[in-house]
Amino acid sequence: MNDLLLALIQAALILGLAPLVTGIIRKVKALLQSRRGPPVLQPYYDLRKLFRKSSVISSDASWITSVTPFVCMIAMMVAALLVPVFITASFGSLGDLIVVVYLFATARFFMALAALDAGSTFGGMGSSREMMISAIIEPAILLSIFSAALIAGTTDLAGISQVLVLGGTDLLRPTLFLAFAAFFIATLAENARIPFDNPATHLELTMIHEAMLLEYSGKQLALMEMASMTKLMLCITIAWSAFFPFGMATELSPLPVAVGLIAFLVKLLLFALAIALIESSMAKMRLFRLPNLLTGSFILAFLAVMSFYIL
């Protein structure tokens, strides 16, 4: 019961902070580019605005279009239950990291279908490209988390962070670094960040994620955006809690929890900073050069698993 409660609190935290992270990244990026940029809370304002608007649906669309925003959202909500944030506990009997990855996949699956639903060429293009990226990135994510799981001896995310925290620096093996690198690239790809995709673009021929959302508007768009932000947040959280969970609380007492929370926020900032840095210093890659980077990530993750056995 305790676990469930903690899981709910952490899930709420993830959902609540998700737009903030996006805001931070945008702000940092603007600052790096010598712009003032929108306020950090701008994503919240955007969402509120969108929720006030009505939606338009294509006359060619089927029930998939209407269902998808909700599926994406609830998949993220359930995934949030499984990820430890500041304390090494989650709703473990619900599932493990495989479930999390498959929940992501579910969301993506629906999104890709919804993009095809209206019969727009842009949707088809986005869907096709997204599936290409995900086809390579999903195994990369799985493998990189597996290497952490192998070190920890469990595939339960909370369990992994617990073992790593308790084991301390002894467990900091090359495997973890390789896996983290792979996961980092995968996170960028999964969340449509530069160099894979430009979240701010509306240039038709280069967009991937945005092309899929092209037909959405109003409340539905708000849900989709919300789900995307949550996904980014989840990825960041997983990155830290599966590979470098240091600072996380292992017991439910005020001091460790406070430390855990602070550590979490710091790591969140660090990650946002890193993303912003990358997005400011790199250009979006050509679509057909993406596979090189993607397979690079896959190979890194693969090497991570291998190195667990060899080293």
Partner 1 sequence: MVILALCGGLSAVGLNNRHKECIYVAFGSAAAFSACGIVVAVEVLSAGPLALSLPLSSDNGQISFGYSIMVDQLSAFFLLVICTLALPVSIYSFGYVKEYEGKYGLGRFGLLYNLFLLSMVLVVTAGNVVAFLIAWELMSLCSYFLVTFENRDTEKASAGMLYLVMTHLGSALIMSALLLIAFQANSFEFSAMKDVGQFMGVDVRNLAFILLLLGFGTKAGIVPLHIWLPKAHPAAPSNISALMSGVMIKTAIYMLIRTYFDFLGINGPEDAWLGLLFLLIASVTALVGVLYALVEKDYKRILAFSSIENIGIVLIAFGSALLFKAYGLNDLAALALIATLLHVFFHSLFKGLLFLGAGAILHATGTRNLERLGGLSRRMKVTSVLFFIGVLSVVAVPPFNGFVSEWLIFQSLLLSFTLNDVLVNLLVATALGMLALTGALAATCFVRFYGMAFLARPRSREAAVAKEVPRSMLLGMAVLAVLCLLTGLLSTNIIQVVDSVTTPFAGTSIAGRLTNGIVLETPVSSFSSMSPVLISLALLIALPLAYLFATRYGGVRAVRIGDTWDCGTPLNERNEYTPTGFAQPLKRVFRGFYRERTRTAVERGADPYLRRLTYETSIPELIDDFLYRPIVKIAVGLARKVGVIQTGSIQAYLAYIFVTLVLLLIIFR
Q: Between residue 48 and residue 77, which ones bind partner 1 under the rule CB under 8 A?
A: 48, 51-64, 66, 69-70, 73-75, 77
Examine residue 195 and tell whether it contacts partner 1 (CB under 8 A). Answer: no
Examine residue 257 and tell whether it contacts partner 1 (CB under 8 A). Answer: no
Site string for partner 1, 8-27 (x = CB under 8 A): --------------------
Query: What minimum distance in Å lies between the beta carbon of 266 and partner 1?
Result: 29
Residue in the block written with tokens 């029930």: 63
Examine residue 310 and tell whether it contacts partner 1 (CB under 8 A). Answer: yes
Q: In this complex, which beta carbon is closest to partner 1, that of residue 146 or of residue 240?
A: 146
Site string for partner 1, 138-167 (x = CB under 8 A): xx--xx--x--xx--xxxx--x--------
Q: Which of 197, 217, 193 is nearest to 207 (CA)?
A: 197
Contacts of 139 (CB under 8 A, 6+ apart): 298, 301
Q: Per CB under 8 A, which of residues 83..112 are in contact with partner 1? A: 91-96, 98-99, 102-103, 105-106, 108-109, 112
Q: Which of 217, 240, 231, 232 is nearest to 279 (CA)?
A: 232
E strands within 104-231? Answer: none
Exposed, middle or buried: residue 59 (CB in 10 Å: 0-12, 13-18, 19+)? Answer: exposed
Give the DSSP H or E segment for 225: helix 218-243
Residues that bind partner 1 (rule: CB under 8 A) add up to a total of 89
Residue in the block written with tokens 């409660």: 5
Examine residue 308 and tell whether it contacts partner 1 (CB under 8 A). Answer: yes
Residue from 169, 205, 255, 309 in contact with partner 1 (CB under 8 A) = 309
Q: Per CB under 8 A, which of residues 200..229 are in contact with partner 1? A: 214-215, 218-219, 222-223
Q: Per CB under 8 A, which of residues 278..307 are in contact with partner 1? A: 287-288, 291, 295, 298, 301-302, 305-306
Q: Which amino acid is at 198?
A: N
Phi, psi at 249, each rounded to 5°: -75, 145
Query: What minimum distance in Å lies between the beta carbon of 168 and partner 1?
Result: 20
179: Cα separation from own chain's centroid: 16
Q: Which of 265, 250, 208, 230 is nearest to 100 (CA)?
A: 230
